[in-house]
Amino acid sequence: LKVLSLVLNTVTVYLLLFRSPFPRFVKWILPFTYFLFYQHGVICRPYSILLIGFLLAAVLWSQKNEKPVRFTLSLMLMCASSAYGIIFAGGITLAWLWELKGNLPFGEYLRSLLKGKRFASLALLLLFALLNIASILPRSDTFAASYGLSGNNPLPMRILYMFTGSLADATCFSAYDDYDELRYAFFSIPKFIVGCLIGGCILALLIYCAKKCKTVHILLIPFSLFALFSGIVYFYLQHIDDLFQFMVFWAWISLVKNKENGEEIKPVWQPKLKKLIYAAITVCLAISVYWTVGACYHEVVYQYGFARQLATYLNQHGLVDYGVMVRWMQLTDENGMISYTNTNQTVNGVALNAYYDTNVITNMNGGDPDMTYVTHRIPTEEENKANLEAWHEKGLPPITFDRCQLKTVFPEYRDIYVQHYTTVLILPEYHLWKAGYQYSEHRLYVRNDIAHKHLLDNVE
């Protein structure tokens, strides 16, 4: 993954340094900004592929009508990267079609479309996008699509964030720093309001610049599709990266279009506004580099995740063969009654399995050694019941990572963890985001008889 990421990032930096129209100081700073340097270079996000698609589309934008095959290939690369890539590629295509329409009568416009390589390229792009959508379309029992809960944040709040606050978070602010999906994420109301105000100002400035560069359609059509999809369907913290990439793409196109237009902006206050724009760009780049420095520092001094330390401990003390039980999804209402159970949605299992060739999580995928992944399938009530009964028949699990919901499985026991388990390991975990982090602690519990057998002491 690191080698592949290095190759993709090298291509990105080459395109930014030697093909982009940005001022020299922007070219040299962009590779060190947070999303490009840390999220792509250290975390190795697959959005590196999307970024190359964006940059190639920017390079080929001015030739899209003369060489449509090359341009649509760059959009296909975006489609192949992620669902968000499909959204942005579709938005860019609609902006292209809007541009082609111009002042042409509708009939003449259609006739101009239905001929030549351009039509064939657009048809092929549409087919490719539809095939990608078909391949990722969730089934009716897919967890992420069928969770069915309303969440903490209502739809208007999510839409407001996507059209304003997300722009601030992509450039200079952090209103959204929770690791839950947008529907369920916790927002500090003061930070949310400030983020939306900053984002609103950024959006107004972008629209003003887009009008001057004649790129309003290129800005608003893809951005609106992305914001609506993300606000209504699905959006996580890391997807802010995709918006940052789109802003780079739009800025690239705007600079190219502005040079092609060759027009000077007349108002006397334009020089002051130009200085304001350059100052805003400088501040945003400086903040992003600060995020990079903070993330890299925390990456070195703190333990990002728990899995390596946990795997090392299990191996050193001969505990792997017992298997580990992890928490599953179980929600309770305000009265403490169980309101939702999903025994197939286990937490933290995949991270530990990454250090083994087989599945060491006893309650994930029925303990099948070959299924080291999460299926994201919602089980039926009968399957939930069968899983809970199977776990009960096996008795108290030898090892659990964090306190599992054992009272649900073994209602006949009282104070299960106090009476029957020994805390043998405390694992810190730091979730890094920009220049900050979220700290949490995990515990490894071993059943008393096994802890005694392996001479393991209580660390609490």
Q: What is the pLDDT of residues 149-159, one digit of tens each?
A: 567 899 999 99
Which pLDDT belongs to residue 152? 83
* CB contact at 8 A, 390 and 359: no
For residue 425, what are the β-bridge partners? 444
Average pLDDT over residues 167-180: 95
CA–CA separation, 376 vs 344, rounded Å? 7
Rounded to the nearest 5°, which phi and psi values hold at 252? -60, -50
Which pLDDT belongs to residue 265? 44
Higher pLDDT pick, 264 / 328: 328
Q: How confident is the model at residue 430 (pLDDT cuts 50, 70, 90)?
A: very high
* Residue 47 predicted with pLDDT over 70: yes
Which pLDDT belongs to residue 326? 97
Angle 405-408-412 from CA coordinates, rounded to 5°: 120
Average pLDDT over residues 209-230: 96
CA–CA separation, 335 vs 151, rounded Å? 18
Average pLDDT over residues 220-234: 96
Average pLDDT over residues 38-60: 95
- 345-352 long-range contacts, Cβ below 8 Å, gap at least 24? 345/143, 345/374, 345/376, 345/378, 346/374, 348/306, 348/307, 348/401, 348/402, 348/442, 349/374, 350/374, 351/305, 351/306, 351/307, 352/307, 352/310, 352/311, 352/324, 352/326, 352/401
* CB contact at 8 A, 453 and 460: no
CA–CA separation, 219 vs 207, rounded Å? 8
CA–CA separation, 282 vs 279, rounded Å? 5
For residue 377, what are the β-bridge partners? 142
* CB contact at 8 A, 205 and 280: yes
Q: Tokens 């209103």 map to which residue? A: 175
Beta strands 338-346; 399-401: pairing state: unpaired
CA–CA separation, 459 vs 381, rounded Å? 38
Provide the residue count of the chain: 460
pLDDT tens by residue, 271-300 = 777 788 889 999 999 999 999 999 999 999
Q: Which contiguous run of DSSP H or E holds residue 10?
A: helix 2-18
What tokens appear for 139 in the block? 């089934």
* CB contact at 8 A, 186 and 161: no
pLDDT tens by residue, 341-363 = 999 989 888 999 999 999 999 99
CA–CA separation, 348 vs 398, rounded Å? 17
Which pLDDT belongs to residue 260? 67
Percent of the chain at pLDDT > 90 equals 79
**Cβ neighbourhood burial of 38 (10 Å; 0-12, 13-18, 19+):** buried
Which pLDDT belongs to residue 145? 60
CA–CA separation, 198 vs 189, rounded Å? 14
How is residue 82 annotated by DSSP? -
What tokens appear for 206 in the block? 């972008």
What tokens appear for 173 in the block? 């602010």
Q: How far apart are the first and last CA of the chain?
A: 38
What tokens appear for 91 in the block? 């938005």
What is the chain's mean pLDDT, rounded?
92
* CB contact at 8 A, 233 and 227: no
